[in-house]
Chain A
Amino acid sequence: GNSVTQMEGPVTLSEEAFLTINCTYTATGYPSLFWYVQYPGEGLQLLLKATKADDKGSNKGFEATYRKETTSFHLEKGSVQVSDSAVYFCALKWRSGGSNYKLTFGKGTLLTVNP
């Protein structure tokens, strides 16, 4: 079936460190890929997305490239800040039939950035 697998956390980094959170997917057809972020005490919000192979999504210094050959969509940031501490979710949007789409989330990765 269609699914996403993301690296288990928690991930703890020092400020200004490089961040990678791995995400791989299994899907048929041509899915879209997303990263959502959940800050403490809040709901999820879209961080970035990519709708086709080789697309790069970027926002707030975060980037992820849709790699069809490796079925991956890894999230990266060159220099993290304390304010980036949050839970990050990789998600897959796929056609479930007709004009219906489904969004499947990974389990989430908790990132803590220490000053």
Chain B
Amino acid sequence: DSGVTQTPKHLITATGQRVTLRCSPRSGDLSVYWYQQSLDQGLQFLIQYYNGEERAKGNILERFSAQQFPDLHSELNLSSLELGDSALYFCASSVEGRANTGELFFGEGSRLTVL
């Protein structure tokens, strides 16, 4: 158990719809990362938040957005869904500053299926 909790574990929805994925980081971790994993693209970094603020952006589509709340949990919002958005979405967390060893702690992922 990594200590990172993601909900829901599975989600099936239709094209054009909007979904929200939720992540609770490990206790004490200020950074949250979102990754998309698909068979053809591998593991793609989407976005990172640190203590409520966006820190780094990766290959995140404009239809996607994220935020980190004061209690440090994070949500990834995916809208106008397309078939190609079907993937496993991972959240990860880490400590920052001098304690940062580079290790990310991953949740078990949310599997999104768009029909």
Contact = CB atoms under 8 A, between A and B. Distances in A.
B42 A43 contact: no
Contacts of A44: 43, 90, 92, 104, 106
A104 to B, nearest CB: 8
Which size bracket describes the interface of B in this complex?
20 to 34
A101 B33 CA distance: 12
Contact of B107 (A41, A43, A107): A43
Contacts of B105: 45
Interface of A: 32, 34, 36, 41-46, 49, 51, 89, 93, 96, 99-108
Interface of B: 2, 4, 33, 42-43, 45, 55-56, 90, 92, 97, 100-109
B1 to A, nearest CB: 10
A108 B109 CA distance: 16
The 7 closest A-B pairs by CB, nearest first: A43-B106, A107-B42, A93-B102, A44-B106, A105-B43, A46-B103, A43-B108
Contacts of B55: 100
Which of the listed residues A44, A45, A101 has the most CB atoms from chain B within 10 Å of its own CB? A44
Given A43-B90, A108-B42, A34 B102 contact: yes
A43 B92 CA distance: 9
A42 B42 contact: no
Contacts of B42: 105-108
A84 to B, nearest CB: 19
